[in-house]
Amino acid sequence: MVIQNNARKKGWRGNESRLGWLFASPALILLFVFVIVPFILAFIFSFTNQRLVPGPNPTEFVGLRNFTRLVADKRFTRALLNNFTFVGVVVPVQTVLALLLAVLINQKLKFVNFFRTVYFSPVAITMVVVSVVWAFLYEASANGTINQFVNFISFGLIGPQDWLGNRSLAFGAIMLLSIWQGVGFQMVIFLAGLQEIPYSLYEAAQIDGANIRQQFFNVTLPMLRNTTLFVVISTTILAFQLYAQVEVLTRGGPQNSTQTMVFYTKVMGFEQGRIGYASAITVIFFLIVLIISLVQRYVLSESEA
């Protein structure tokens, strides 16, 4: 009886193991073919002169040549610099703005739900559409919406600018519309964090005589630490994925002033078919994202300890 039971149990176990693999296999096969294989290929290609469509010259191992060329490639270094500039400007501005919006929306005021919807609505509009509409707002003529606005608030001191055609302004213009489109997403994440702070903490602070400013800095901010970290890290990673705005508005120009890593990968790998070289950019791109993710995990585990 006992033996029989064991046998049945064992058979059932074996069955479960097979079933486990069976249920997992569609996703595992797809992940393997379309994520893991390309990922490994990126590393292999980055040491070769692989072409998209193999030409007359055979594909061969070229050592670190792609990487040494990248270091000297002005378009690549410009792309790298731009991505870091985007992180340096957009991440702090967007995070602070998202937090302020969340605090504002979290007030007990009428119509806040309506305004929450309004602030979040750009997220529901795709980047290509956002870019086209902003291309209109950035019109270079004196009639242009933003030109008229800037002229108005500067009391006529600042004349019309070619926002997307001037190499010292174009990347700033792209950063502005990126913030406009993305801040609602982060706002909602902050809002969820705010609503998890127990009200009793504010009551305790009020009894201790803390004013609103003190409550914000001594209760709200510390309680939002993990949320803020998440927002900062995810915005940073998104900053390195910057692409659609550049494709639609400037195609990396003028004079590479809006070049980004992903856009340059596309130019090299797809337009010029130089997969080996593009893969080297991809590898650097991945290593940056990896470092950011590791920092995130380290800081989060620190905060839990």
Partner 1 sequence: MAHVAMQGNSEVKQKTGSLSMQKRVGTVLGYIALVLLGFFFLFPTIAMIVLSLQADETSITQDMGTIWMFIPRAISFQNYTDVFERVDFPLAFGNSVLIVGSTIVIGLFVNSLIAYSLSRLKWSGRDLMLGVVVALMIIPFEAIAVPLLRVVNVFGWLNSYHVQIIPFIADAFSIFLFYQFFIGIPVELEEAALVDGASRFRIYWQIIVPLSLPVFSTVAILQFIFKWGMLLWPLMVTRGPEFMPLPLAMNTLYGQAPFLWGDRFAFAALMTLPTLAIFLIFQRWFVQSVASSGVKG
Among 6, 10, 39, 159, binds partner 1 (CB under 8 A): 39
Q: Is residue 175 within 8 Å of residue 87, measured between CB atoms?
A: no
Q: Which of 75, 89, 115, 197 binds partner 1 (CB under 8 A)?
A: 115
Distance (Å, whole) CA 242 – CA 92: 16
Task: Map the footprint of partner 1 across residues 142-201, applying CB under 8 A.
Answer: 143-145, 147-149, 180, 184-185, 188-189, 191-193
67 binds partner 1 (CB under 8 A): no
* CA–CA dist 296, 284 (Å, integer): 19
Cα–Cα distance for residue pair 110/190, rounded to 1 Å:
20
221 binds partner 1 (CB under 8 A): no
Among 107, 168, 200, 301, binds partner 1 (CB under 8 A): 107
**Closest distance of CB 285 from partner 1, Å:** 5
In whole angstroms, the minimum distance from the beta carbon of 84 to partner 1 comes to: 16
What backbone torsions phi and psi does residue 129 show, to the nearest 5 degrees? -65, -45
* 269 touching partner 1, by CB under 8 A: yes
Using the contact rule CB under 8 A, the part of the chain among 2-10, 74-82, 214-222, 244-252 near partner 1 is 244-252
Among 2, 4, 5, 26, binds partner 1 (CB under 8 A): 26
Strand partners, 61: 48
- Cα–chain center distance at 303: 23
Of the two residues 136 and 217, which places its CB atom closer to partner 1 in the complex? 136
What part of residues 276-305 is at the interface with partner 1 (CB under 8 A)?
278-279, 282, 285-286, 289-290, 293, 300
Single out the segment in contact with partner 1 by CB under 8 A; choices: 86-94, 100-108, 165-173, 197-205: 100-108
DSSP 27-92: HHHHHIIIIIHHHHHHHHHTTB---SS--SSPP-B-TTHHHHHHHH-HHHHHHHHHHHHHHHHHHH
Contacts (Cβ under 8 Å, ≥6 apart) of 219: 197, 201, 202, 205, 210
